[in-house]
Structure 1
């Protein structure tokens, strides 16, 4: 009997299945009411939660600069600028840049900076500015840690002040004459496991797509990691209640509805699209009722249906672990707000390295991210789609990215994985299907490192789930059919 057959027999013996009254604007949209209704207890224009008198009592004086920082609108004030189009938005004038392939408006603010007392609060509408806003260069990406093999692709600058979007417009659009037929709009939500990525990543340069499809392309930033998804309690006034990254996306989509017409776009023809965590975000907007009016159709690229959203209980437990790493009490919101961005990132990474339940192993691929809060997100995405609790009237395009599993497996396992370890991980992921998976794949691999086998198994099942919309049980039957 070969070694792999012995291991298969041992697994068969030991494995047990696991259960698994506000005035509307001239567009008919009430921006304040829209965001306020998501969390009705929170007034978006309320006084700061941390008052001036309380700032003196913050734990670390060096952190006051973070708490007190204000938004720099980067206004161009009489300095020489390259030629570029100028548009008049609801908040003020914006000047873009015209390059070889497109007109581009970089770093357009769609919400006020979520800094200081607003670190863990829903996004607030943009404050108007005077003068001309300089949109000729990208702004900093949202806070994230860059490490591993993909560090070369990391943003050069990161900041908590990051709620911006980039707009790409076909070069043949003439801003000096009326546009008889507005262009369709495509809004890109980037991936990155909800802890990384950027709207300004070179891979997401929207110039080619804008010209090739003759559309207005919008790339948006949203808060990531603990900044976007920390849950420390249930009171939105005195705790972090999570899902801020998804609320940021909603605020950006609302901004598009209100402003994209002056950029040549048609707000009634908005397609949202994304890959991986971006596709997961798209799937959530398809089931979130308050997002319904913000887009017409959707494209999902490599939707990770098999990765479950956290429950409120799991999100709170993660928040408690995060607070421990910062030496703050989870109930001491002032202490959490006083943390430097670097301290937040450090605690985020330390918390992410913990696997709480080995039989819910897929959670290691998305430690930080959206959770089921009962208000914005009411159920698991895969459950909502199976029950028909989504916007079925909208056109939907679903696809998968080949070999995507390589990024995740080699990102999680930075050292070779032995055959025994591989079997343990497969059992944790595939549960009662483990024997069928091992019988199909294990004899094919004789290398000492079994990471490649893990990527192939994961990619095969994910492909069926994503491209055919199959539940995980049915997808496994397609990939590993029962013996006849």
Structure 2
């Protein structure tokens, strides 16, 4: 009998005892793990995800930093700004706004779309901006939302953070003539950044919207929204006497409403709005597709690396986290006055202390996303994966969705700093999947022979959290008549010798690896593209732009000269009549049958997402 088979036998005996299948919040997960393997190193300490950890022993793309906190402070323009000159002045419903002109676009930085959520308005829905006298200076980004500046793949750390952060940026192609009456309005692309709902910023150089805007003739908008405890604390149900959560999603709605009311004066068409986002940003996009009140605010959507299988908290679990948070502040969870009196630094410190709290031990995947939206029964009524499978979303809207081929690497190597043995990996699989663990291990264990099984865990995360539920949701949408296109970002450098520590995950298709290719921001991601990689980047820009213009990523209609020169390979709609073809985004992009369809068939049959 092979070692992995002996391991399955051991687990089968433990699981047969029934200890792994009780769905009870009061069960101690640590004790359960030790009943399976007493020697396992499992502590009653928080697991810190992506807090200064190394990925595959590679250097981080940026150093952790301590952010300064300010109110309405001026933030330095992005590092790559060159040849900046005064820009056009536009008249919005809230007043005059003056932007800047740079080499590739007109940019309007830091436009307020809601009043500051500070003081008594800390845990309140966003409020409309009042009229402003004079001309608003939109020549520099404003502060990012409150966050701790650490973790991989989040670009440049926002050096200044503040509770006063409800701003957005607008990027407009240079051929838009603001000196005369605007002609035909351009499609609008609204970017919602990721960052686990605790980090990220609309103004990170990685998300520089001028590249997409200028290359595809679209107006690009990027927005900030409240993060962590500031955006998602739940201390009770009554919004008048407690923090009711989901404020970050309400902020996004307020920004989308601002776009509807104002984007025309920037040359954008409010009837042609595409919302797009990656990771937590893609989760946000999926929630707007499920939310009736968001329906009139956009026309179509792009979901990049949506972690479908990471569960949103129930009200019970969100309130449990809120109690843990309040405990760290020495406030009662029911004392809103006390919570509102806390300094922003105190709120952030308490958030960080509870950021790895698994409030429901039988939803162990919560460790990957402690703070974020919860199912409140009104704005959000169910899990996204459930809504997509049952057709409870805006199915008439075109959707482009996809994943990277190595999504799980950054998560697994962020949690597990040291090698994980076969036995340890099996224990964690049992903790997450309970009665399904034996079948899952039987599927994966024989495929991995190295002593360190983190690669196996990373593949399970890739398949279960990202790839397979995305495929199932796409097939359910197709069956309901929706227009969907799927991609797999599977980039591998044409010459492995050019890999370096900093560029490993971008070239190895980790979570978020497509971003510098999509935004054309490789220089700020600290790696140099080969000619083949630049072609991939250009084609991705044009696919997304074509989708914004026509609802079809490979449409030739209304392509710019730049995009016509890229000679885009055809990207067929995702449907069974075309053998479920997926666009493989690599140095030689091509449509293909999904390479892991047999694995996703396995997960679909388990029926656990």
State the TM-score, normalized to the length of structure 2. Answer: 0.67
Alignment of structure 1 residues 298-377 onto 2, 5 Å: 298-377=301-380
Alpha-carbon distance change, 238 to 72 in structure 1, aligned in 2, over 3 angstroms: farther
- Equivalent in 117, 131, 141 of residue 114 of structure 1: 117
- Equivalent in 458, 464, 469 of residue 468 of structure 2: 464
Name the CA distance, whole Å, in 1 between partners of 2:92 and 2:137. Answer: 13
Alpha-carbon distance change, 303 to 480 in structure 1, aligned in 2, over 3 angstroms: closer
State the TM-score, normalized to the length of structure 1. Answer: 0.83
Deviation at 1:70, TM superposition (A): 7.0
Q: CA RMSD in A?
A: 2.5
Q: Is the 8 A contact 1:102 1:169 kept in 2?
A: yes
Q: Is the 8 A contact 2:317 2:360 kept in 1?
A: no
2:9 is the counterpart of 1:9: yes
Q: Is the 8 A contact 1:73 1:133 kept in 2?
A: no
After superposition, give the CA deviation of every residue in 1:421-455 in whole Å (9 maximum; x if it has no partner): 21122123333332232223223434443222211
After superposing the two structures, state which structure 1 stretch, 314-323 or 171-180, moved more: 171-180
Task: Show the counterpart of 1:131.
Answer: 134
Alpha-carbon distance change, 358 to 238 in structure 1, aligned in 2, over 3 angstroms: closer
Deviation at 1:327, TM superposition (A): 0.8
Name the CA distance, whole Å, in 2 between partners of 1:266 and 1:149. Answer: 36
Q: Is the 8 A contact 1:361 1:425 kept in 2?
A: no
Name the CA distance, whole Å, in 1 between partners of 2:348 and 2:603. Answer: 40
Name the CA distance, whole Å, in 1 between partners of 2:598 and 2:123. Answer: 38
Name the CA distance, whole Å, in 1 between partners of 2:170 and 2:214. Answer: 12
Name the CA distance, whole Å, in 2 between partners of 1:149 and 1:253. Answer: 29
- Equivalent in 167, 176, 179 of residue 170 of structure 2: 167
Deviation at 1:93, TM superposition (A): 0.8
Name the CA distance, whole Å, in 2 between partners of 1:467 and 1:166. Answer: 33
2:222 is the counterpart of 1:222: no
- Equivalent in 271, 296, 299 of residue 299 of structure 2: 296
Q: Is the 8 A contact 2:105 2:173 kept in 1?
A: yes
Deviation at 1:460, TM superposition (A): 2.4
Name the CA distance, whole Å, in 2 between partners of 1:389 and 1:342. Answer: 39
- Equivalent in 288, 303, 315 of residue 285 of structure 1: 288
Q: Is the 8 A contact 1:286 1:292 kept in 2?
A: yes
Alignment of structure 1 residues 365-444 onto 2, 5 Å: 365-444=368-447
Deviation at 1:419, TM superposition (A): 2.6
Structure 2 residue matching 1:336: 3-state secondary structure: helix
Deviation at 1:470, TM superposition (A): 6.8
Structure 2 residue matching 1:94: 3-state secondary structure: strand
After superposing the two structures, state which structure 1 stretch, 243-252 or 374-383, moved more: 374-383
Alpha-carbon distance change, 478 to 338 in structure 1, aligned in 2, over 3 angstroms: same
Task: Show the counterpart of 1:478.
Answer: 601
After superposition, give the CA deviation of every residue in 1:375-409 in whole Å (9 maximum; x if it has no partner): 21122222222222211111112211231212222
Structure 1 residue matching 2:363: 3-state secondary structure: helix
- Equivalent in 258, 261, 268 of residue 258 of structure 1: 261
Structure 2 residue matching 1:83: 3-state secondary structure: strand
After superposition, give the CA deviation of every residue in 1:61-99 in whole Å (9 maximum; x if it has no partner): xxxxx9xx975799xxxxxx9321111111111111111
- How many residues are matched? 428
Deviation at 1:476, TM superposition (A): 6.0
Alpha-carbon distance change, 70 to 408 in structure 1, aligned in 2, over 3 angstroms: closer
After superposition, give the CA deviation of every residue in 1:179-211 in whole Å (9 maximum; x if it has no partner): 221000010111111111111112111111112
Task: Give unmatched runs, 5+ long, in structure 1.
Answer: 21-65, 75-80
After superposing the two structures, state which structure 1 stretch, 106-115 or 344-353, moved more: 344-353
Task: Show the counterpart of 1:205.
Answer: 208
Deviation at 1:332, TM superposition (A): 1.2
Task: Give unmatched runs, 5+ long, in structure 2.
Answer: 24-68, 76-83, 477-596
- Equivalent in 453, 470, 475 of residue 450 of structure 1: 453
Deviation at 1:360, TM superposition (A): 1.1
Q: Is the 8 A contact 1:398 1:467 kept in 2?
A: no
Alignment of structure 1 residues 77-116 onto 2, 5 Å: 82-116=85-119
After superposition, give the CA deviation of every residue in 1:336-395 in whole Å (9 maximum; x if it has no partner): 111111211111121122223333111111111111112211222222222222111111
Alignment of structure 1 residues 266-277 onto 2, 5 Å: 266-277=269-280
